[in-house]
Structure 1
């Protein structure tokens, strides 16, 4: 016991000297240090790709108050990855207070960007136990940023470590009750990206459905590997008819910052339908009754039959052209001529008349009528012709009888 007492008496001056050195207004540079480090990456980052920054302070003095001031970080977007972390570490055999802050920086452009000095404002204690202010600063650091890859026109630049997509429905989309809609929610989870980096909510298309878009929601969580951002896209969908509708697929592109490749994600199409068991049975439809041709067609058929029998009995067999000339209602060219004339279509009327001339021969009466039509259509003092009257006269005029 006496030996222990002697040892403590001998140790007391050294302990007092150590405390006196710690509680002094003179601060040795090694008593408080501040450093900024860009954590090493296997590649040169692209614009908007996350760069992790570690701010570390080591303190061998008692600290009464502190505040870490960061520079403007011009050329970067940034977010802090959680609160400052204070611990004690044994360095060179002595316990040292250690402060660490992690930040995610997102460069806004390619080139060499500078991160300015961080300043740690400290309040320390002197020999008289009075407080005094003391600042320490880090050295500036630079970051090299490479130009981003070429993108298709209109594509959204979306770099992320990885993304996860979920597609959920409030109830089975193909088993809706009559008049009911269904809520669709697509959740985008992006690791290593901030919420504004996620593409805007797209339009959900459906040719035969009614789609009502809801305001999107965006959230952020902080994690050691970077921010985790969420986007929620929501639509209420209802079939636009009495049965079903198809919701078109959605497509999303992002840059995988770990694999260094552009990736495309497709959210498949979906059928939205009412439950067939709840729908009323479709009404029975009666088969359409047959409609017999009118009396003009019947009369023409009977006349053709009578002429055929008469000529057969007399030993002469009529040609098809002869029957057409005698029965204009059976002649397709004659029908075209009458239809074009009724529609007041001059060009169609002339084409049909010229076709009849080529087939039947150019009789003098028909040539005269066609020449009169041409004069009415193409003369300098052109007049609107009577097309229905022309068609009647042309069909009544005799064709070339030598054919």
Structure 2
């Protein structure tokens, strides 16, 4: 709290080898009814050792108008028109702490220090030599480039997974490894670390990037990813996960590698001649011609039958059908998770549905207000902003209503309703 007439002030945090202090968010400045100003600043404390910890005091240095300072413009003379006009003008200035001359009044330097604080730092939850991620909350999210991903054989897509830990330091987030994916090659591109401000305080974020190149058409499944952490609220181990997900890949299906002829052919002594050695070329040509003739006959028969029946080859499923199938699968996962009271699983499935609907958590409320409100309520309960239990059934009901809306729009041949009304 700084007094009226303060010109400038600086807050200096204590330093020590036993801890690190990092400012969290911006200063909160509030004018008080007694003329003083309340300045609030939050810090994130990171102890570097266990046991007793003494946190030194914070020091504030301010330039304050001297209480007995004389108005420097008093020497301009007695009260008159010019003096009154200048006093009225500068007296209304926010820099004025008293009369007209207070803007230019001499100041004095005031320094004060808060009392030190003694704390006790508990040992690492997993042991003195173990690794731990103590945090208030941990979540895993993913983004794609392009989003939603359209997987095709031989074409790379980028998957980014963010690990967000509230109340932790980026260096505490462990490495995240994606296991091998059958039907695709996975290339790790690295990770980025940073601290991000949130409405609940400073959070650590580490973003991992992979390039995924499908090698076969059909379906590939990305395995579950998870991070073990220690919940500082419940003082118990926990695990945050990103559920396994299957994706459709467009393109030819790769054949299984065939065994080499050397592996399947019977061993023959090199110095022993066989009867087939002398006419192998003639036999091979006859067999090859027979196979070609058989293949041509089958193709002609299939074409004739298709012409008689009036059938046409069916086209492959397009992006819209793939997205609809992924939304249906996400909705089914959300229903299962809600039945078991799994809030994290329900939220993850809802976010997958939103992604396959071509939306984001920030824009879904504009298109589907009920779904946006249900998702916000779930997040508020997860981060302890409310004392009520999350309404998982309500979230699933909102998801089903939004999905019906999308399917009706698809049958009418229309896209999603515009986020903003068209202007003329």
TM-score by length of 1: 0.48
Structure with higher Rg: it is: 1
